[in-house]
Amino acid sequence: MAYKIYIAYGSNINTEQMSHRCPDARVIGTSVVPDHKLVFRGHTEGAVATIEPEEGSSVPVLVWKISKRDEAHLDMYEGFPRLYVKKDYRIQLNGETVTAMAYIMTPGRIEGRPSPYYFNVIAEGYREFGFDLAFLREAAGQAYTSPDDDPEARVEEIAARQKAGTFTACPRCGSWMRRELYMNCLSRRAEIYVCEKCGMAEALADHLGKHDPVTDWYIFR
């Protein structure tokens, strides 16, 4: 079976995600892309990762060996060639210089912040391979925390964005929320809005004497 070397800098650093997307893929090491920076683009909120040239900076990457079947799957997940195109880089791997392929976002997309869920998918990979989380947080543009750090701070941060008029994914279930404030529901678990369906689920849970902690929510997965 023919294989290609592929480098991941975003959510495909997460090995659990890659096990579903690319069943033939195998991790073969870690490296960096020199003279590049990590950026999130596409939307003001819910932006996704790409890398761009910046002299003196470097981006940590996870190096995979992927099959033709894996590459076809990645083409679909990455929106190739509309959202991402492929580019080869020369990187250091286990003391040798090798050529590796990465998906790079197409030009003309605005810079923004990743969703808490997307950020944490990447952060799990950073933790697994010992990458610097401070680097990821700086690139994301805000001080995201993990569930183990301070769950209250995460909820407060998202609540503040909601008060400023930003409604994206429901923090409880991840489905899209309505932009009109009155069409969402104030959670019974924290001072934060959730979608109408989750508001009803919380009311039913209270009626049955159950209490689901906020750390079970979508934003902490």
Return the sign of the alpha-carbon dihedral for residues 92, 104, 146, 209.
negative
**Mean pLDDT score, 136-165:** 72
pLDDT of residue 147: 46
Strand pairing category for 48-67 and 3-8:
antiparallel
Per-residue exposure over 29-45, b if at least 16 CB sit within 10 Å of its own CB, e if not: bbbbbeebbbbbbbbee
Decide if pLDDT at 146 tops 70. no
- Nearest CA among 21, 28, 111, 37 for reference residue 69: 21
Cα 73 to Cα 24: distance, rounded to the nearest angstrom:
11
**pLDDT tier at 97 (50, 70, 90 boundaries)?**
very high
Could you read off the pLDDT of 76-94 as tens digits, one per residue? Answer: 999 999 999 999 999 999 9
Q: 206 versus 29: which is more confidently predicted?
A: 29
Question: Per-domain residue ranges for the chain?
Answer: 3-139, 146-220
Categorise residue 52: left if φ over 0, alpha if ψ from -120 to 50, beta otherwise. beta
Q: Which range scores top for mean pLDDT: 65-69, 159-163, 177-181, 189-193? A: 65-69
0.75 cut: is pTM over it? no
**pLDDT tier at 170 (50, 70, 90 boundaries)?**
confident
**pLDDT tier at 145 (50, 70, 90 boundaries)?**
very low
Tally: H helices and E strands in the chain: 6, 7
Strand pairing category for 84-93 and 48-67:
unpaired
Could you read off the pLDDT of 112-137 as tens digits, one per residue? Answer: 988 877 888 898 899 899 999 889 98
pLDDT of residue 143: 46
Q: How far is CA 96 from CA 17, 56, 90, 188, in A?
A: 28, 21, 10, 56
pLDDT of residue 142: 56
**Mean pLDDT score, 153-179:** 78
**Topology of domain 3-139, per CATH?**
Hypothetical upf0131 protein ytfp (3.10.490)
Query: Are the beta carbons of 139 and 39 closer than 8 angstroms?
Result: yes
Peptide bond before 81: cis, by omega within 30 degrees of 0?
Answer: yes
Query: Are the beta carbons of 123 and 132 closer than 8 angstroms?
Result: no
Decide if pLDDT at 138 tops 50. yes
Mean of the per-residue pLDDT values for the chain?
A: 89
Query: Are the beta carbons of 33 and 93 closer than 8 angstroms?
Result: no
- Nearest CA among 207, 209, 178 for reference residue 194: 178
